[in-house]
Amino acid sequence: MKRRVVVTGMGVVSPNGIGVTEFLHAIREGKSGIRHFPELEELKFSCQIAGQPTVSEEQKRKYFTELQLRNFNSSGILYGVMAGMEALENAGIPVAEKESEPLWDLGIIFGTGTSGVDKFRESVYLLDAGKVKRLGSTTVVQTMSSGISAYLGGMTGAGNQVTTNSSACATGTEAVIMGFEAIASGKAEQMLCGSCSDHGPVVWGGFDAMKVLTWKHNETPESGSRPLSSTASGFVPGSGAGAIVLESLISARERGATIYAEVLGGHVNNGGQRLGGSMTAPNSTAVRRCIVKALEASEIKGSDIDYINGHLTATIKDPTEIRNWSQALGTKGTSFPYVNSLKSMIGHGLAASGSMEIVAALLQLHHGFVAPNLNCEDLHPEIAEVVDRERIPTEMIKAELNTIAKASFGFGDVNACVIFRKISDQ
């Protein structure tokens, strides 16, 4: 039998809140973290708005020494370390002392799309100028894909599997499923799981060139991210990190840890870029199959789901996603679960999106509310045909949630869906 796995810690660095307490307040109040960036305007971006965490120097120094910050230029690693270390602290798990053995039962799966792009760009300039000796000793770890897990591994002393996954926008959700499987199979007792994404023009520029970002709200940034809306015109780029601590139920109970939810199961698949799927568009058949397989792994029915934290990016694919959920769950109208998209507040965090959204979903489950969907008063008519308007709240509502679903769909036609439930036998 697979072992039961629970969530005992959370951490987040988001455009609308640094840390779980601030983030919880922001999502309850519907606070937007999207703003205009003069730099994007100067670079002639069509989309000149974005979601980027505001991190103070004091906050940086809570997690990094002056020596570590010297020549440090990797925003994604910064966000990931802050979120990951907060999650461990929130879970009450102390790091290993420098002279002690590693924490053999603690592992890390922390994903990213790209790492240290600004550091890499800085390095290219130095190399072109013939100044290779000025690259510094941390250039490699800041720019390698597994830089985030390497930093967290050293800071925590984790001695189990420490690795980085990368599946575009599905990265964070996939990391949680991978961590769940490691604990359920008995390979680890605790797993720190999450994902992060760098900010800035180098990361966001390619999406602007693809014309998938909105260009209509440069003067009104907080109105720019419009998931589920009939006037959605593309997504707003974002950045940040989210993290959760997964733990075997036995270990959590032995420690007397706070249990935020149980992970019932999940599924990851790929649409093969077939049946209408492509490098950038999900295959609906595979999306529905991913959701159904996640339900089967969790041993529940579609009608058991109370709330969906959707991928919902504010593109033309939003109605398709809602139809896929409806068909996979076998629900519609007033029986459709509550649904929202954190992207309306913070934009699309790319590789970080799944993990930030999982933290948001778990906070709603734990505290009994559904956060508002911003900017979708004009609900898309194709969505209105499937879902009752009241299931897509535009203001925060109190709700007794029991079982929730989170899914992410990424470039490369990759899909991930995970199911959480409020634990009833603590």
Nearest to 240 by CA among 352, 408, 325, 89: 352
Question: Number of helices (H) and strands (E), helices first, in the chain?
Answer: 16, 15
Domains of the chain, first to last: 5-255 (3.40.47.10), 267-421 (3.40.47.10)
Q: Are strands 307-309 and 414-421 parallel, antiparallel or unpaired?
A: unpaired
How far apart CA 128 and CA 126 sit, in angstroms, is: 5
142-to-67, 135, 137, 139 alpha-carbon distances in Å: 14, 11, 10, 5
Q: What is the DSSP string of 40-96?
A: HHHTT-S--EEE-----HHHHHHHS-HHHHTT---HHHHHHHHHHHHHHHHHT-PPP
Is 257 within 8 Å of 92 (Cβ atoms)?
Answer: yes
Tell me the mean pLDDT in the region 6-15.
98
pLDDT digits over 96-128, tens only?
Answer: 999 999 999 999 999 999 999 999 999 998 999
Is 406 within 8 Å of 172 (Cβ atoms)?
Answer: no
Tokens of 240: 């940040």
How far apart CA 116 and CA 147 sit, in angstroms, is: 9
Tokens of 296: 């089967």
Tell me the mean pLDDT in the region 75-101.
97
Is 306 within 8 Å of 337 (Cβ atoms)?
Answer: yes
Phi, psi of 84 (to 5 degrees): -65, -45
Count the neighbouring beta carbons within 10 Å of the beta carbon of residue 20: 21
Q: How far apart are the first and last CA of the chain?
A: 20
The C-alpha torsion from 209 through 212 and 216 to 219, rounded to 10°, is -70
How far apart CA 151 and CA 375 sit, in angstroms, is: 38
Give the rounded percent of residues in the chain with a pLDDT score beyond 90.
96
Q: How far is CA 136 from the centre of its chain?
A: 31
pLDDT digits over 129-151, tens only?
Answer: 999 989 988 999 999 999 999 99
Tell me, what amino acid is at 91?
A
Tell me the mean pLDDT in the region 148-160.
98
Which three-class secondary structure string do you get for 250-293?
A: HHHHHHCCCCCEEEEEEEEEECCCCCCCCCCCCCHHHHHHHHHH
Residue found by looking up tokens 């199961």 in the block:
265
Tell me, what amino acid is at 232?
A
pLDDT of residue 424: 77
Q: Strand, coil or helix: what is 23?
A: helix
pLDDT grade for 425, boundaries at 50, 70 and 90: low
Q: Strand, coil or helix: what is 362?
A: helix
Residue found by looking up tokens 């009752």 in the block:
388
Tokens of 3: 């072992």
pLDDT of residue 234: 98
Tell me, what amino acid is at 364?
Q
pLDDT of residue 136: 87
The rounded radius of gyration (Å) of the Cα atoms in the chain is 20
Tokens of 333: 């109208």
Q: How far is CA 98 from the centre of its chain?
A: 31
Q: What is the mean pLDDT of the chain?
A: 97
38-to-68, 211, 308 alpha-carbon distances in Å: 29, 19, 35
pLDDT digits over 261-283, tens only?
Answer: 999 999 999 999 999 999 999 99
pLDDT digits over 198-222, tens only?
Answer: 999 999 999 999 999 999 999 999 9
Is 381 within 8 Å of 63 (Cβ atoms)?
Answer: no
Is 158 within 8 Å of 105 (Cβ atoms)?
Answer: no
